[in-house]
Structure 1
Amino acid sequence: MKFDLHTHHFRCGHADGNIEDYIQAGIREGLGVIGISDHSPYFGSKQDQENPGIAMAKSEFANYIDEVLRLKAKYEGKIDVLLGVESDFFPEHAKLYGDIYEGYPFDYIIGSVHRSGGVSIFNRNRWKGQSEEQQVKQKLEYYDLIKQSARSGMFQILGHIDAMKGYYPAFSAIRTDDAIDETLQAIGESGVSIEINTSGSTKDVGGWYPSDAILERALHYGVSVTFGSDAHRPSRVGDEWELVAKRLKEIGFKQWVYYKQKQPVVVPL
C-alpha cells in the first residue's frame, strides 16, 4: 500500500496546481492513499492573509476543506483521499489553532515548526556571523519547539523535524545530541509520528528529512514513522517512496503508518 500524506496546492501561494492535479498524480503513481495537507492560514494574525507566498488566507480555509471532501467523494474507489493540513506551531497561539481545527473532520494534522526565534528556519542569513555558542542556542530553541509541538496534543504527525538543515547543511553537525534525544523521547511518549519527508532532496542539503542518524535514534525511542513527499508540484507526488521504504527496513523499522480519522493505519514494510 503506497501512500503520501504531505501535498500542497496553489492556495498556499508557493505551489503549482490544484488539489485534483495531485490526486490524479497519486493515481498515476499507484498510490492507494493520498493526503492533502496545504499550509494552514496564520490564524494568530489580524490579517486575512499575512504571508500570501507562504500560507493560505483565512477566508479560503473552509473552501479548502470543502474541496477536499468533494474530491474525496468523487474519487472514492479509485484512491482514498484524506483530509489533512500542515499547521504551523506557535506556542502562544496553540489553543486558538486547536479550537479552530476541532470544527473540521481532519484525518490528520501535521505539526511543523517553520519559524524559530522569529525567523524562518529556511532563512540562509540567520547563520551569518554566528558563533558556535549562538548556533547551539538556535538549534536548542528549534528542538524545544518541536518537543512542545509533540506534547501539545494537536498533531498526529510532526513534519520535517530537521528541516533547518535545508539551506544550511552544517546544521546537522551542530552538537546538541542530548536535545535531539530528549525531543525524540518526548515524541515517542506522546504517540505522534514523524514523517520521512523527501523534499529535502530538492534543497541544498540534498537529502531527506530527517537524517538516517535521527531515524536510528527514533527507532530506539519507539517513534512511529510515516511518509510525505511535501510535493509542491504534482510531479513530485510519491517521490522516492520505494527508496524510503527500503532504507527504513535497513534501519530496522518493520512498519509505518498513515492516519484516517486521526487513527493510525499500520502498513507493513
Structure 2
Amino acid sequence: MKFDLHTHHFRCGHADGNIRDYIEAGIKEGLSVIGISDHTPYFGSPEEQPFPKIAMAKQELSNYVEEVLQLKREYEGKIDVLLGIESDFFPEHAEIYRQTLAKYPFDYVIGSVHSVGNVSIFNKNRWKKLNEKQRIADKEAYYALIRESARSGMFQILGHIDAMKGNYPAFSDIPAAEAIDETLKVIAEEGVAIEINTSGKTKLSGGWYPSDSILERALHFGVEVTFGSDAHVPSRVADELELVAARLKEIGFTEWVYYKNKTKQSVPL
C-alpha cells in the first residue's frame, strides 16, 4: 500500500491549493492513505498571525481540523484521510504547543526544527563569515534540538532531519558524525519515526532528506522510517515514492510506518 504523510495547503501562506486538491492528487497517484499536515500556527507570540507567509493564523487551526475531518468522512472508502500537522519545535514554547495540540484528535504530529539560534535553517546568509568551528557548532546545535524534540514526547514523526543542507549543500560535509549518531540513538530509544522527505529537490541541495548515509546509520540503530513528499503544490503528492521505497530496500529496510490515532501501522516495503 502507498501513503504520503506530509502535505500542506493554502492556510500556511506558502503553499498552493486546498485540502481537497491534495486528496484528489493522492487518489490519482494510487495512495491508500494521505496525511494532511499543514504548519501549526506560531504559538510563541500573542499575535494572531505573526508570520503570515510561514504559518496559519491561530483562529484557523480549528477550521483546519474541522475541514480535514469532514473530508475524511466524505472520502471514506476511497482513500483514508489522516489528520496530521507539522509543528515547529521551540524548547522555550514547547508547553504551549503541547497543550494546544492536545486539544485536537490528530492522527500524528510531525516535529520539525526550522530554526537554530533564531535564524531559519534555510537562510543561506547564516553561514557567511562563519569559521569551521562555528559551522560545526551550528550543526551540533541543530542536532541537539532534534534530540530534544525526540525526547519531548510530542511527536510521532520527526521531519526532514538534515534539511539544514537545503540551501547550503556544504552542510553535509561539516563534520558531526558523533552528533548525528547520538541523535539517531535517541530517536530509536524514544520510538519516533523519521520521514524520508522528497522536498529537498526544491532546494539548492537537491535530493532527499535525510541523506543515504544517515539512513544507513538509522537502520543500524533501529530507527523506523516513513514517507512524506512535503508537497506544497498538489502535483508533488507522492513525489518519488516508488524511488524512495526501492532505495530503502537497497539500504536494508524491510518496512516503513504510518500513524493512525497516534498508533503505529507497519507496512512492508
Is the pair's TM-score, using the shorter chain for normalization, greater than 0.5?
A: yes
| Aligned counterparts of 2:206 and 2:93: Cα–Cα separation in 1 | 33
* Structure-2 residue corresponding to 1:164: 164
Distance 1:217 1:148 in 2: 19
The residue that corresponds to 2:117 in the other structure is: 117
- Greater CA drift, 88-97 or 147-156: 88-97
Give the alignment of 1:39-188 within 5 angstroms.
Answer: 39-188=39-188
Following superposition, the deviation at residue 69 of structure 1 comes to 0.2
Output the CA distance in 1 between the equivalents of 2:267 and 2:201. Answer: 24
Q: Give the CA RMSD over aligned residues.
A: 0.4
Q: Residue in 2 aligned with 1:263?
A: 263
Alignment match, 1:244: 244
1:46 positional shift: 0.7
Q: How far apart are the structure 1 equivalents of 2:47 and 2:99?
A: 19
Deviation by residue 1:229-264 (Cα, 9 ceiling, x = unmatched): 000000000000000000000000000001000011
1:192 maps to a residue whose letter is: V
Counterparts of 1:178 and 1:250, CA distance in 2: 24
For 1:27-38, list aligned pairs within 5 A. 27-38=27-38
- Aligned AA (1:81): V
Quick one: which amino acid aligns to residue 225 of structure 1? V
Structure 1: distance between partners of 2:244 and 2:179? 25
1:55 Cα deviation after fit: 0.4
CA distance in structure 1 between the partners assigned to 2:257 and 2:142 by the alignment: 25
The CA deviation at 1:201 is 1.2
Note the C-alpha offset of 1:113: 0.2
Q: Distance in 2 between matches of 1:107 and 1:35?
A: 9
Deviations 1:208-244 (A, max 9, x none): 0000000000001110000000000000000000000
1: CA distance, partners of 2:207 / 2:25:
23
State the Cα distance separating 1:44 from its structure 2 match: 1.6
Superposition TM-score, scaled by structure 2 size: 1.00
Identity of aligned residues (%): 72
Paired position in structure 1 for 2:16: 16
| Number of residue pairs matched by the alignment | 269
For structure 1, the residue ranges without an aligned partner over 5 or more in a row are none
Deviations 1:5-51 (A, max 9, x none): 00000000000000000000000000000000000001121100010
Distance, in Å, in 2 between the alignment partners of 1:60 and 1:178 is 41
Task: Classify the secondary structure of the residue corresponding to 1:58.
Answer: coil
The one-letter code matched in structure 2 to 1:30 is G
Question: Where does structure 2 lack aligned partners over 5 or more consecutive residues?
Answer: none
SS at match of 1:142: helix
SS in structure 1 at match of 2:227: strand
